[in-house]
C-alpha cells in the first residue's frame, strides 16, 4: 500500500508540472551557477542532472558560471596574493592569466563534462568567443574614493549569436564569465553577465544559484524570507542589502527591467532547487517580477500569450 501511495504522489507531482511545462516549453532559461552547488561533488552531479532534465523537458537552458573558490585555490598554489576592494577582486595582468586559465580551461570543462555524462549536449564557450561579452573597465569606491581594480569590467555589450546558434542546434551553452575589451581580457561578475545574457536572449527566466534560501526582509536575523517582490520594491531595498547579495539582486533587477519576465534567487545547496522553482506551484527562493506583473496562473498565461 505504501508503494502505491508513493506512486500516486509521483504521478501528482508530474501532473502539477504540466501547466509549467506548457508555459516554458521552448523558452530560454539562463542559470547562473555558483556557490556550494559548484564545489560539493553530490550537488555538482544534481546540478548537471537538473540542467539535462530542463533540456529534455523542452526548455533551452544556458549556464553562466564564475569560479571564485577555484581561482583562490589556484592562486594559493602558485603563491600569488589576491586582494579585494569593495567586494571585487583586484585583477592584475598576472592574476588575469590565472583567472582566465581557471575559468575557461578548468571550471568550464568540468561543468561541460558533468552535463555531457548524460548525453552530447553541453558546449563550453568563453565570454570572449565571437565577441559574446564586451566589457568596459570599472572601479570600486572605498571610503568615498575610486580604487583601480585592474582588469575588471562591466558588461557593456552582448552579441548572443553564438549562443543562439548552439541553442537552435539543441545544445546547452556553458559560458565562462570573462570578456573581451579594447584593453585585453577582463574579469566580469558572473551574476551581471548572466543577467545581461538573459536580456539579450529574451529569456523567459533568470535563475541565480547561491548559498542562501533567498532574500530576507530582516537580515541578518534571516527569519522572514521574501518569496516575491517587484522591481520597484527591490530597488528600494538595495541600499540596505548585505554586500554579498547586492550583485545577485542587482542582476535580478537588471533582468526584469530588461524584459525578462521573472528572475529568481535560489539556494543551490537544496537538491533539485531549480526544478522545484520552475515546475511546482509553491516554488522556493525569491522571485523578482516587473511592475506590470503578469498573471500567476500558468494556464491563463498559456492561453493569453499562446506559448
- CATH number of the domain that 106 lies in? 3.40.1160.10
In a domain, 223, yes or no: yes
CA distance 36 to 212: 10
Domain that holds residue 174: 24-289
pLDDT for res 221: 63
pLDDT for res 281: 67
Instruction: Give the tens place of pLDDT for each residue, 181-219.
Output: 998 999 999 999 999 999 999 999 999 998 888 888 766
Phi first, then psi: what are they for 204, rounded to 5°?
-80, -15
In a domain, 272, yes or no: yes
The sheet that has 262-267: what strands, in order across it? 122-126, 172-176, 60-65, 28-33, 205-210, 262-267, 286-289, 228-230
CA distance 74 to 62: 26
Task: Share the mean pLDDT of the chain.
Answer: 86
pLDDT for res 297: 45
CA distance 280 to 149: 42
Q: Classify residue 101 by its DSSP letter.
A: I
Instruction: Give the tens place of pLDDT for each residue, 22-48.
Output: 778 889 999 999 887 888 899 999 999
CA distance 239 to 296: 29
Helix, strand, coil share (%) of the chain residues, nearest 5 = 45, 25, 30
Tally of structural domains, the chain: 1
In a domain, 10, yes or no: no
In DSSP terms, 125 is beta-bridged to: 175
In a domain, 9, yes or no: no
Contact 183, 151 (CB under 8 A): yes
CA distance 255 to 172: 20
CA distance 86 to 70: 20
Cβ-based burial of 8 (10 A; exposed 0-12, middle 13-18, buried ≥19)? exposed
In a domain, 299, yes or no: no
Contact 161, 148 (CB under 8 A): no
Contact 85, 140 (CB under 8 A): yes
Determine if residue 67 is labeled as part of a ligand binding site: yes
Determine if residue 150 is labeled as part of a ligand binding site: no
Q: Classify residue 127 by its DSSP letter.
A: T
Where on the phi/psi map is residue 52: left (φ > 0), alpha (ψ -120 to 50), or beta? alpha
In a domain, 191, yes or no: yes
Q: Which segment of 160-169, 184-193, 268-277 scores lowest on mean pLDDT? A: 268-277
In a domain, 6, yes or no: no
CA distance 40 to 18: 31
CA distance 189 to 287: 21
In a domain, 303, yes or no: no
Instruction: Give the tens place of pLDDT for each residue, 99-152.
Output: 999 999 999 999 999 999 999 999 999 999 999 999 999 877 777 778 888 899
pLDDT for res 131: 96
Determine if residue 89 is labeled as part of a ligand binding site: yes
Amino acid at each position: 500500500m505504501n508503494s502505491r501511495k508513493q506512486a500516486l504522489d509521483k504521478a501528482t507531482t508530474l501532473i502539477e508540472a504540466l501547466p509549467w511545462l506548457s508555459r516554458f516549453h521552448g523558452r530560454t532559461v539562463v542559470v547562473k551557477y555558483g556557490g556550494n552547488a559548484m564545489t560539493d561533488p553530490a550537488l555538482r552531479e544534481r546540478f548537471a542532472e537538473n540542467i539535462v532534465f530542463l533540456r529534455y523537458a523542452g526548455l533551452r537552458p544556458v549556464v553562466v558560471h564564475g569560479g571564485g573558490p577555484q581561482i583562490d585555490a589556484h592562486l594559493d598554489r602558485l603563491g600569488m596574493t589576491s586582494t579585494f576592494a569593495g567586494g571585487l577582486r583586484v585583477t592584475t595582468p598576472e592574476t588575469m592569466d590565472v583567472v582566465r586559465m581557471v575559468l575557461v580551461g578548468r571550471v568550464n570543462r568540468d561543468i561541460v563534462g558533468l552535463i555531457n555524462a548524460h548525453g552530447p549536449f553541453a558546449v563550453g564557450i568563453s565570454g570572449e568567443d565571437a565577441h559574446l561579452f564586451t566589457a568596459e573597465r570599472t572601479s570600486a569606491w572605498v571610503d568615498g574614493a575610486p580604487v583601480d581594480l585592474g582588469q575588471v569590467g562591466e558588461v557593456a555589450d552582448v552579441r548572443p549569436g553564438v549562443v543562439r546558434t548552439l541553442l537552435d542546434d539543441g545544445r546547452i551553452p556553458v559560458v565562462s564569465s570573462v570578456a573581451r575589451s579594447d584593453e585585453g581580457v577582463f574579469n566580469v561578475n558572473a551574476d551581471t553577465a548572466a543577467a545581461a545574457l538573459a536580456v539579450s536572449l529574451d529569456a523567459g527566466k533568470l535563475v541565480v544559484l547561491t548559498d542562501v534560501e533567498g532574500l530576507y526582509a530582516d537580515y541578518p536575523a534571516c527569519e522572514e524570507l521574501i518569496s516575491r517582490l517587484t522591481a520597484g520594491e527591490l530597488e528600494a531595498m538595495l541600499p540596505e542589502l548585505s554586500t554579498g547579495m547586492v550583485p545577485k539582486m542587482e542582476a535580478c533587477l537588471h533582468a526584469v527591467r530588461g524584459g525578462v519576465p521573472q528572475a529568481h534567487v535560489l539556494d543551490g545547496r537544496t537538491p533539485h532547487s531549480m526544478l522545484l522553482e520552475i515546475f511546482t506551484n509553491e516554488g522556493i527562493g525569491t522571485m523578482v517580477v516587473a511592475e506590470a506583473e503578469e498573471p500567476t496562473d500558468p494556464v491563463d498565461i498559456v492561453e493569453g500569450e499562446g506559448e
